[in-house]
Amino acid sequence: MKLPILDLEKKKAGEKDLPSQFSEAYRPDLIKRAVEALQNSARQAYGADPKAGMRSSSRLSKRRKNYRGSYGFGISRVNRKILSRRGTRFFWVGAFSPQTVGGRRAHAPKAEKNWEKSLNQKENQKAIRSAIAATINKSLVESRGHRVPAEYPFIISAKFEALTKTKELENVLLALGFKDELERSLIKTIRAGLGKLRGRKYKKKKGILLVVGGDCPALKAAKNIPGIDIVQVNALNVELLAPGAHPGRVAVWTEKAIEVLGKENLFNQK
């Protein structure tokens, strides 16, 4: 399969054969598994203190002859703590056992739980190849909600990687016909639920993924454009190519990135 190469002014500068990674079959099931494996390995461990809800200084005695005991009072032998006392008369409250008011959780989250999901190397590589192929499938990209120009998909000239200023890079994307897509990435909505209280009040759409061949000035220049992600081709992963496990993200590949992908045979079984 061939794609046209466009320069920074959207003029055709030739054609290029795509490497074999772009001909991989569409496998949304594998892509979803690979994204979930990445997200699970990034989860931070959390859990309750094992002594939570059990820190009372005055607990009920369970010894029959102990004057602090509850035997002979016609009450169930539920774990209790002493709320108050008058002489040898004690007033207990449940508040220890899971089924009582104020009691601890029955099965609290454990910090030692392992959230990671294993994924075979071949499966992960196949998922990445499938997600790469999905980026040049125009119908998939549009069904994901992206607004792409009529010429999409295409490869951009290697001169793109030499851009040093954010404004220059943004102007090139506008010239290529991504005005609607850049405006779509500016829309900010308020998240539903408790996430608003946890430092993630707003949600934004994922925009264009720029794939470059190696370390270049454009990596820094593109950081401040909302919705844009820029990555070196050897650092690609499934979550960048298919955010939220939804394949078909709009991606602009540079000429050099395509060369490196084919020359180094990336994401293919060695």
- 58 has a pLDDT exceeding 80: no
- 75 has a pLDDT exceeding 90: no
- What is the phi/psi pair of residue 26, to 5°? -80, 115
Per-residue pLDDT, 126: 96
Band of pLDDT at residue 65, cut at 50, 70 and 90: confident
Domains recognised in the chain with CATH numbers? 2-43+116-263 (3.40.1370.10), 45-114 (no CATH)
Distances 136 to 39, 193, 247 between C-alpha atoms, Å? 25, 35, 11
The pLDDT tens digits for 137-175 are 999 999 999 999 999 999 999 999 999 999 999 999 999
Strands 209-212 and 251-254: parallel
Residue 234 to residue 215: CA distance in whole angstroms? 11
Interval 185-204 mean pLDDT: 94
- In single-letter form, the type of residue at position 80 comes to R
Separation of CA 246 from chain center: 11
- 134 has a pLDDT exceeding 80: yes
- In single-letter form, the type of residue at position 58 comes to S
Residue 101 neighbours by CB under 8 Å, 6+ apart: 93, 94, 95
Which of these ranges, 39-53, 65-79, 98-112, 243-257, has the smallest mean pLDDT?
Answer: 65-79
Enter the pTM of the model. Answer: 0.84
Instruction: Confirm if 242 and 31 have CB atoms less than 8 A apart.
Output: yes
The pLDDT tens digits for 77-120 are 888 888 888 988 888 888 888 888 888 888 999 999 999 999 99
Length of the chain: 270
Band of pLDDT at residue 222, cut at 50, 70 and 90: very high
Structure tokens at 25: 């079959």
Per-residue pLDDT, 101: 86
Per-residue pLDDT, 198: 92
- 50 has a pLDDT exceeding 90: no
Higher pLDDT, 250 or 59: 250
The pLDDT tens digits for 14-46 are 999 999 999 999 999 999 999 999 999 999 999
Per-residue pLDDT, 26: 95
Per-residue pLDDT, 73: 83
Structure tokens at 182: 């850049």
Per-residue pLDDT, 251: 96
Per-residue pLDDT, 218: 94
